[in-house]
Amino acid sequence: MSFEAFKRSLNDLSAALDNLTANKLTLDKPAKSAMISDFKKNQDDYFRGAVHNAISFAENSAEKLDVPPEYGAVADQIRAIVKKLNGTKNIGELKFMVNHVASLAAKIKVEEKPSSFSLSSVPIDIQSDINADIEEMQRCYSASCYRSVVILCGRLLETALHRKYFDATGNDLLEKAPGTGLGNLIAKLKESNVDLDPALTNQIHLINQVRVYSVHTKKDAFAPSREQAHAMMLYTLDSLSKIFKR
- Cβ(230)–Cβ(141) below 8 Å: yes
> In this predicted structure, what is the pLDDT of residue 34?
45
Spatial separation of the C-alpha atoms in residues 222 and 45, rounded to whole Å: 15
Distances (CA, A) of 7 to 13, 45, 76, 107, 134: 10, 25, 15, 12, 23
Distances (CA, A) of 204 to 26, 96, 154: 25, 28, 8
Instruction: Domain ranges for the chain, please list them.
Output: 3-105, 119-243
CATH class of the domain comprising 119-243: mainly alpha
Please tell me the predicted confidence (pLDDT) of residue 54: 87
- Which residue stretches of the chain have pLDDT < 50? 34-36, 113-114
Residue 124 pLDDT:
87
Residue type, 137: M
